């Protein structure tokens, strides 16, 4: 059941005749995660904090974008 994978706030699960997906986000840090349960494909993005000074002379993290495919290995 696709509801097995949901944890915490900021996530939603969608299911229709062809696709099942899990979508998570955080408003405060600019992070998103999307997972298509049907295909096993996922994306993760992070807006970064390079525009905010964190320490003297350091302006935080760069943005990142990750994608890939998961395969079931046990259940």
pLDDT of 20 reads: 87
pLDDT of 2 reads: 47
The overall pTM is greater than 0.85: no
pLDDT of 13 reads: 83
Which residues in the chain show pLDDT less than 70?
Answer: 1-9, 27-28, 75
Cβ-in-10-Å burial (0-12, 13-18, 19+) of 22 comes to: buried
For residue 33, which of 4, 57, 6 has the smallest C-alpha distance?
6
């Amino acid at each position: 059941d696709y509801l097995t994978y949901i944890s915490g706030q900021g996530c939603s699960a969608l299911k229709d005749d062809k696709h099942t997906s899990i979508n998570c986000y955080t408003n405060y840090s600019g992070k998103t995660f999307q997972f298509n349960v049907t295909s096993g494909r996922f994306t993760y993005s992070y807006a970064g904090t390079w525009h905010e000074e964190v320490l003297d002379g350091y302006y935080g993290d760069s943005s990142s974008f990750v994608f890939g495919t998961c395969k079931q290995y046990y259940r």
